[in-house]
Chain A
Amino acid sequence: MAARKLTSATEDYLEAILSLVHEKGFARVRDIARQLGVSRSAVSNALHALGKRGLVVYEPYRMVTLTDKGRHAAQAVRHRHAELRLFITDILGLEEDIANAAACRIEHSIDAAVLARLTNLADFIRIGRTTNDRPWLEAFVEFCDARDRAARSAADQPDETGPAEALPRGEQPALRSLADVPVGGTAKIVHVGGQAKIGQRLSDMGLTAGAVVSVVNVGALGEPLEVTVRGYRLSLRKKQAQAIYVREL
């Protein structure tokens, strides 16, 4: 194992600090201690160690903040956690708390490449692409190849790169449907699925891969959605929005 590899305990600390900063705007030793269920002195010791590795800025009796390096590492852990949790709930169909506990254990040891393939598998199943009677495995491998190619060509065109692509592959925010993006959220379209002719209609209206969509409004009963795409307002039902896969920006 490379020396840079963080231990699972370290990753837990970083994750806790990140979520506290996100929640309250700051992190204190006693909050961290409460969140992780360890003593304050243990937290204090760990923070010193993290400080030495350049991951956090910590002085006794002061707020704890993450360095850029620390934040990046924490975000990566959190992303792995989210992706694994989604896989366990959505694909394996297990309960939320089981998923969280399992994700907490797996997130520290899983390889980036394996996680990327797991994400691919989840997307492959979610999108529900027809395989034209070909074996699923063959279709899946093709799906992964297409993804890798798309990622490479996105890397070739730097001006197309949005904030989502700034993260290394496998550490992007999880793929979700446009229907799950909250009002005020902005996302980039990754894939337009569903029935071909409806997909064509959505594409005709400018909802194509790479286009940026913001959800502006939702009808009083949760439907339909009002979005902005290519500078104009479009309204669509949840059912159509569910066939559009996006990454939030």
Chain B
Amino acid sequence: MSYADTQPSQADHEQSTRQSKSRLSVALAGNPNSGKTTIFNAITGARQRVGNYPGVTVEKKEGAARVANHHLHVLDLPGTYSLTAYSQEEIIARNVLIEATPDVVVDIIDSANLERNLYLATQMLELGVPLVLAFNMSDVAEGRGFNINIDALSLLLGVPIVRTVGHKGRGIDELLAKAVEVGLSGVKAVDRQRCPSYGHEIEPHVTELTELVIKSGGPSRRARWFAVKLLESDQETIKRLRHLCGQKAEPLLQRAEQLRNHIERIFGDSTEIILADRRYGFISGACRESVESSVEARHNMSDKIDAVMTNHLLGLPIFLLLMFCTFLLTFKVGGPLMDLVGAGQDWLAGAVAEVWSPARAPLVRSLVIDGIIHGVGAVLVFLPVILLLFLAIAMLEDTGYMARAAFIMDRVMHTLGLHGKSFIPMLIGFGCSVPAIMATRTLESRRDRLTTMLVVPLMSCGARMPIYMLLTAAFFDAKWGPRVVFLIYLIGIVLAVICAKLLRHTILRGEPTPFVMELPSYRMPTVKGLLIHMWERSWQYLKKAGTIILLVTIILWAMGTFPRNSDRQDEYDRQVNQVRAAYGEAPTPQQQAALTEQLQLLQRNKKADDIRYSLVGRIGLAIEPVMKPMGFDWRIGTGLVGALAAKEVFVSQLGLVYALGETDENNEDLRRRLQEDYTPLVGFCVMLFTLITAPCVATIAVTHQESGSWRWALLQLFGLTVMAYMITIAVYQIGRLFA
């Protein structure tokens, strides 16, 4: 049962039972950059849970707190400027307020930026939720010469106001006490609150519609809110009313449309804008009565920093330098850590292999070593870079620089149909697509996010480098090698630009999101805040993408292992015995060396045959006709199937197929064999194909997680593969004409 559907008498009853329950739900609302997260952290400490709202990628944060004998359940609403249906965040915030009906809403206000922050509060008042205002960062406001008469303002709005300084934990206890008080008094607190009045021309229309909403069976407690939203012709509200009132909604909607037209005729302006005007008028009026500003020109520290950071000449170099530092921190510091995780994984696999003799349950042994340990390693290997990347992003965001980065890059990115903030994921993409796709979270518009997400894999990631190294070393000389690699990177960037444009003109078509972005004051981030941000996002990666990556790694292991050729195994055993027998019981050291070499050769040949016999090899063989137009044979095909697990696997897979055992990109034998079997054109085509084709499973898994649906992940998978296929065929076929 929710407030929205109850009559006042029922609500009163509900409230009296609430007294004894001592469980209260508190929702934290507020503008972005109002210090809401800091307050949330201060209230709940470590008792937080982060998840997503169902079906969308808006973060849902919950926590708990205790005040006297009351248990508080605290929900951190997404930061919004308003309660229109402009963004996903706004829709979620207002749906929670209407449907989940928290006992009390705490609106965090940036005291140094009073008017715009109070705008959200006026809409909460309209919505009729029990409200407490926290005037956060009151120290900053005082420093800037604002003298706010809290008592006067509290009286004018009919809402309790508490001063807080979030990062110092000041005023939090008082805030919670007030929240409990208001939460317990429920409806009575709402009755004291004052709504903005829309003036003598519009107010009668609002009243008329409010009565009509009640008569039509709409929610009486929220009737005024619904009336106002109807005048604004808010589509979400119209849908909701149709759902709530059925047939009765139609005359109501018609009347609303009439009144709306009437207002637009009188004022010569759209109703939404006029209503927003009036709300700001209400705020200005209240502030005139209660706020004094002692300093006229407010050239504060933040403005001085900005004069440098967004300077015409210095802005771009500073931005590039910071991006370079982010990249360095993520991959130069993260790279060795990645290697460490990889080494740890190898050590563990080796240790298990040592203890677990191949004779006992060989299949389970292989599953544990090559499947599970390898799979967990594949997940954990990304963790260092992801932690560091999110640390860097948290720093850029919490200091307020991220908005400036978008400001500087917007002109360029806008021509690609993207937002200024898309630049950061694109750059991270050169390191690794997984954290890059996670970095798209900083984008507000879903269309921008999806476009960026889909094209990020075209930024050639670090894992493709071993492939390029192997192939350029095999097919091109020292002079041309680097140029070819550079060309490949360039092709990736150009394709990303083309694809972004294409997506924006087809499935992700639509007005480019209006770029109306706050440039918040620069702020010193807190260590606690940074760590919490970093950990929350990394944990989500581990939980969501990790499971899928682990699963797929095990599936790929199975595909590379089954079906097993038992005849070949017997033959191998026989051969081994033969060789051993030939050398007798006590070989000399020279003989011992020769024996070992022969045994290794046998083992390599067997592995090559096993791969060929396995599902991966069979797929490689089966798709050979399809690969032919690109100049690829079954060996390359097998390598590419393996590369789905991780791009660099291509190199070791190719080594196995050539019966060279475990190889890396510096293996001379592998290079020679490649030179014998393929032309430089094929080498180039392999590079081109690995650049464009479907990224590794980890990327697909993260795209699935971040886009919230398989649709986009599959589009990425197939779209890129088909594009790679067509482009590579074209290059190979045209190239052959000249060769």
Contact = CB atoms under 8 A, between A and B. Distances in A.
State which size class the interface on A falls in: 35 or more
Contact of A206 (B112, B115, B298): B115
A226 B86 contact: no
Given A200-B232, A204-B276, A206-B115, A220 B265 contact: no
B322 to A, nearest CB: 16
Given A201-B84, A226-B407, A234 B272 contact: no
B573 interface: no
Contacts of A226: 310, 407, 519
B411 A206 contact: no
B273 A203 contact: yes
Given A200-B232, A201-B514, A224 B410 contact: yes
Contact of A233 (B261, B312, B515, B518): B518
Given A204-B84, A208-B277, A240 B516 contact: yes
A226 B517 CA distance: 9
B276 A198 contact: no
Given A199-B270, A205-B516, A217 B310 contact: yes
Contact of B86 (A197, A211, A223): A197
B251 to A, nearest CB: 21
Contact of B407 (A206, A222, A224, A239): A224
Contact of A220 (B84, B264, B411, B420): B411
B652 interface: no
B384 to A, nearest CB: 34
A198 B514 contact: yes
A108 interface: no
B269 A219 contact: no
B410 A142 contact: no
B408 interface: yes
B547 interface: no
Interface string B398-410: 0000010011101
A234 B516 contact: yes
A230 B116 contact: yes
B261 A205 contact: no
A211 B284 CA distance: 10
Interface string A214-232: 0001011111101000111
B516 to A, nearest CB: 5
A200 B276 contact: yes
A234 B277 CA distance: 18
B638 interface: no
B512 to A, nearest CB: 8
A192 B268 contact: no
A2 B568 CA distance: 117
A197 B276 CA distance: 12
A147 B86 CA distance: 29
A237 interface: yes
B412 interface: yes
A143 interface: yes
A146 B268 contact: yes
Contacts of B112: 231
A142 B265 contact: yes
A129 interface: yes
Contacts of A223: 410-411, 414
A233 B519 contact: yes
B518 A240 contact: no
Interface string A69-90: 0000000000000000000000
A202 B272 CA distance: 11
Given A201-B84, A201-B514, A196 B407 contact: no
For the complex, would chain A's binding face be called helix, strand, loop or mixed by DSSP majority? Answer: mixed
B412 to A, nearest CB: 7
Contacts of A221: 411-412
A199 B116 contact: no
Given A233-B519, A234-B516, A236-B515, A204 B414 contact: no
A224 B277 contact: no
Contacts of B81: 204-205
Interface string B280-323: 10000000000000000010000000100010100110000000
A234 B519 contact: yes
A220 B408 contact: yes
Q: Which has the most chain A C-beta neighbours within 10 Å: B276, B277, B414? A: B276
A132 interface: yes
Interface residues of B, number: 48
Nearest to B199: A153
A236 B516 contact: yes
B119 interface: yes
A235 interface: yes
A240 B270 CA distance: 16
Contacts of A220: 312, 315-316, 408, 411
Q: Which has the most chain B C-beta neighbours within 10 Å: A143, A211, A230? A: A230
B407 A235 contact: yes
Given A132-B261, A201-B84, A219-B411, A236 B270 contact: no
Contact of A196 (B267, B273, B406): B273
Given A200-B272, A236-B515, A209 B116 contact: no
Nearest to B420: A224
Nearest to A192: B273
Contact of A236 (B269, B273, B411, B517): B517
A191 interface: yes
Contacts of A202: 514, 516
Interface in B239-287: 261, 264-270, 272-273, 276-277, 280
B82 interface: yes
A177 to B, nearest CB: 15
Contacts of B276: 200, 203-204, 208
A91 B518 CA distance: 34
A208 B515 contact: no
A208 B86 contact: no
B8 to A, nearest CB: 30
Contacts of A230: 113, 115-116
Interface in A146-180: 146-147
B266 A146 contact: yes
Nearest to A217: B310
Contacts of B265: 142
A188 to B, nearest CB: 14
Contact of B514 (A129, A206, A237): A237
A134 B477 CA distance: 74
A199 B414 contact: no
A154 B270 CA distance: 20
B515 A197 contact: no
B444 to A, nearest CB: 12
B410 A231 contact: no
Contacts of A204: 81-82, 84, 86, 119, 276
Contacts of B412: 221
A205 B224 CA distance: 23
A224 B411 contact: yes
A209 to B, nearest CB: 6
Contact of A237 (B269, B272, B414): B414
A211 B514 contact: no
A200 B277 CA distance: 10
A232 B306 CA distance: 13
A129 B268 contact: yes
Contacts of B408: 219-220
B315 A231 contact: no
Closest 6 CB pairs of A and B: A203-B276, A146-B268, A200-B272, A233-B519, A204-B82, A221-B411
22 contacts: A132-B264, A143-B268, A146-B269, A199-B273, A200-B86, A201-B84, A206-B280, A208-B280, A220-B316, A220-B408, A231-B298, A232-B113, A232-B518, A233-B306, A233-B521, A234-B519, A235-B406, A235-B515, A235-B516, A235-B517, A237-B414, A240-B515
Given A208-B276, A233-B518, 4 more contacts: A201-B514, A206-B116, A210-B277, A219-B408
Interface of B: 81-82, 84, 86, 112-116, 119, 232, 261, 264-270, 272-273, 276-277, 280, 298, 306, 310, 312, 315-316, 403, 406-408, 410-412, 414, 420, 511, 514-521
